Amino acid sequence: MDREFLIDLFADFGPVTIRKMFSGYGISADGINFALALRAGLFFRADEQTIPDYEAEGSKPFQYQTRAKTVLVNSYWELPARLFDDSEELAQWARAALAAAGRAKAKKRPKVKKAEPTKLVAKKRPAKKAVRSNH
């Protein structure tokens, strides 16, 4: 899949940003990455709300092979092949993927910078004058 194909594919969805990523492209909208176009196919962001739709279509989660094992990435699922011919329904799935990515982003707690310890600076007090008694 090349950039032009992807831009055409998402025409009914709306403008997308396509960036080189791994062996393909990361696809985002509104600054949120919601899809991956890789050699293995097109994968949309999914979560507990949308995964049942992918399962009903017979789709599988993204996976890749390392030397030691197969890694399953359950947060990205393969887009059903039939959607490549139905741009309106593909746009609905893309909106659902963008929503899933937004929910995932909201779940991540923002990194809170630790406040620098406040330095207590003691003010110099005027030296007490020694009271001399004349006793």
Q: What is the pLDDT of residues 28-63, one digit of tens each?
A: 999 999 999 998 899 999 999 999 999 999 999 999
* Residue 22 belongs to domain spanning: 3-107
Cα separation, 93 vs 130, whole angstroms: 84
**pLDDT at 2 (0 to 100):** 85
Confirm whether 113 is domain-assigned.
no
Structure tokens given for 90: 């593909």
34, part of any domain: yes
Per the domain annotation, does 69 fall within a domain?
A: yes
Of the two residues 84 and 114, the one the predictor is more confident about is 84
User: Which pLDDT does position 39 carry in this prediction?
Assistant: 84
Question: In the prediction, which pLDDT does 23 show?
Answer: 83
Say if 71 falls within a structural domain.
yes
**40: in domain:** yes
CATH of the domain at 79: 3.30.1460.30
pLDDT score at 131: 62
* pTM listed for this prediction: 0.77
Whole-angstrom Cα Rg for the chain = 28
Of 87, 88, 83, 75, give the one whose Cα is nearest residue 34. 75
d(CA 24, CA 34): 14
The β-bridge partners of 26 are 19, 36
Does residue 135 lie within any of the structural domains? no
State pLDDT tens for residues 61-96.
999 889 999 999 999 999 999 999 999 999 999 999
Position 121 in a domain: no
Q: Is residue 7 part of a domain?
A: yes
Provide the number of structural domains found in the chain: 1
Q: What is the pLDDT of residue 105?
A: 86
Q: Is the pLDDT of residue 129 over 90?
A: no
> Above 70 in pLDDT, residue 132?
no
Query: With contact defined as beta carbons under 8 Å apart, do 94 and 36 qualify?
Result: no
pLDDT of residue 16: 95
